[in-house]
Amino acid sequence: MICFENNREYVLRPAEYAPFEDSVAPLLEEEETVLLVCQAAGNGMIFTNRRVIAVDVQGMLGTQSDVCSLFYRSAQTFACDRSEESCSLEVFLAGHKMVRFLFDYPDADLSPVTTALARFTL
């Protein structure tokens, strides 16, 4: 199961929403929208306007999945860094926990995610 552990780094690459939709769609609130979909070692990271949803697909056929959410309201601060080869987003949570998302592709558009994070950290 994916869980947002302290000082954990998740290396992400772009992905389609369709493989994770069955697991994620029932969890979304009425005004919650998907902003960015990435994949980390077969598992999905779905960034919405309110949280990050990690989907751990299990089994040979992918029929079972575990889901873990990181709500932006629990973030105290965040930092975004961009280079020619990648970009990263560090989210610092209450209790001095830090989660780092490393986007392994330089053209990742993090502006909708950072805008959503800013709304909850201000």
Residue 73 in any domain: the answer is yes
pLDDT at 91: 94
Flag whether 2 is in a domain: no
List pLDDT tens digits, range 37-63. 999 877 899 999 999 999 987 766 656
Residue 95 dihedral angles phi and psi, to the nearest 5°: 85, 15
- pLDDT bracket for residue 6 (50, 70, 90): low
At 76, which CATH number?
2.30.29.50
Alpha-carbon gap, residue 105 to 23, rounded angstroms: 25
- Residue 107 — pLDDT band, cuts 50, 70, 90? confident
User: Does a structural domain hold residue 59?
Assistant: yes
Give the model's pLDDT for residue 9. 86
Domain presence at residue 67: yes
**Residue 27 region by backbone torsions, left for phi larger than 0, else alpha for psi between -120 and 50, else beta:** alpha
Q: Which residues pair with 38 in a beta bridge?
A: 14, 45
Q: Give the chain's mean pLDDT.
A: 88
Q: How many domains does the chain have?
A: 1
56: in domain: yes
pLDDT in tens, 70-90: 999 999 999 999 888 889 999
Query: Is residue 20 pLDDT above 70, yes or no?
Result: yes
Predicted confidence at residue 110, as pLDDT, reads 94
Could you tell me if residue 57 is inside a domain? yes
Q: Supply the range of the domain harboring residue 115.
A: 8-121
